[in-house]
Amino acid sequence: MHNNEMMEKEEIFSKVLRAGRRTYFFDVRATKADDYYLTITESKKFTNDDGSFHYKKHKIYLYKEDFSEFNEILKEMTDYIINEKGDEVISERHQKDFKKEYDTPKPDVVKEVASTETTNDTATAESRFTDVDFDDI
């Protein structure tokens, strides 16, 4: 088979979903027996310290015999998430005022912290950190 014929066979049907630093590729491909299967590829962009970038990719191969169960479980899982948390996006990346659970102490934690804090800010800050000798690393 020539490269052009192979490329045509590879590109039967494709869709792309761009989602921030992630891109999802949905590609219908053919087996050697000319049956179809689906590949789902997640590509995530990472920036290096020097400003250049690279991608990490993860791929799932999904065959027809698994479509029904895969769809059922995917629907069950996505419905569960929406029912439990709603469809509003709650994350540090999407909301500027997002507070992680450990950033906002619970009332019991506040009492404990308040009882152990001293009036000296330096002593309080120092008690939160552990000395690390970088020569040991």
Judged by DSSP in three states, 128 sits in coil
Does residue 35 lie in a domain region? Answer: yes
Question: By CB neighbour count within 10 A (0-12 exposed, 13-18 middle, 19+ buried), where does 62 fall?
Answer: middle
Does residue 23 lie in a domain region? Answer: yes
pTM of the model: 0.57
Query: What are the tens digits of pLDDT across the range 61-87?
Result: 999 999 999 999 999 999 999 999 998
For residue 59, what are the domain limits? 3-69
Query: What are the tens digits of pLDDT across the range 100-133?
Result: 666 555 555 444 444 444 444 444 444 444 444 4
Does residue 111 lie in a domain region? Answer: no
- What is the domain-level CATH number for residue 10? 3.10.450.700
Residue 111 confidence (pLDDT): 46
Secondary structure element (H or E) that encloses residue 36, with its range: strand 36-47
- Total domains in the fold of the chain: 1
Does residue 64 lie in a domain region? Answer: yes
Does residue 87 lie in a domain region? Answer: no
In Å, the largest CA–CA distance within the chain is: 78
Query: What are the tens digits of pLDDT across the range 16-43?
Result: 999 988 999 999 999 999 999 999 999 9
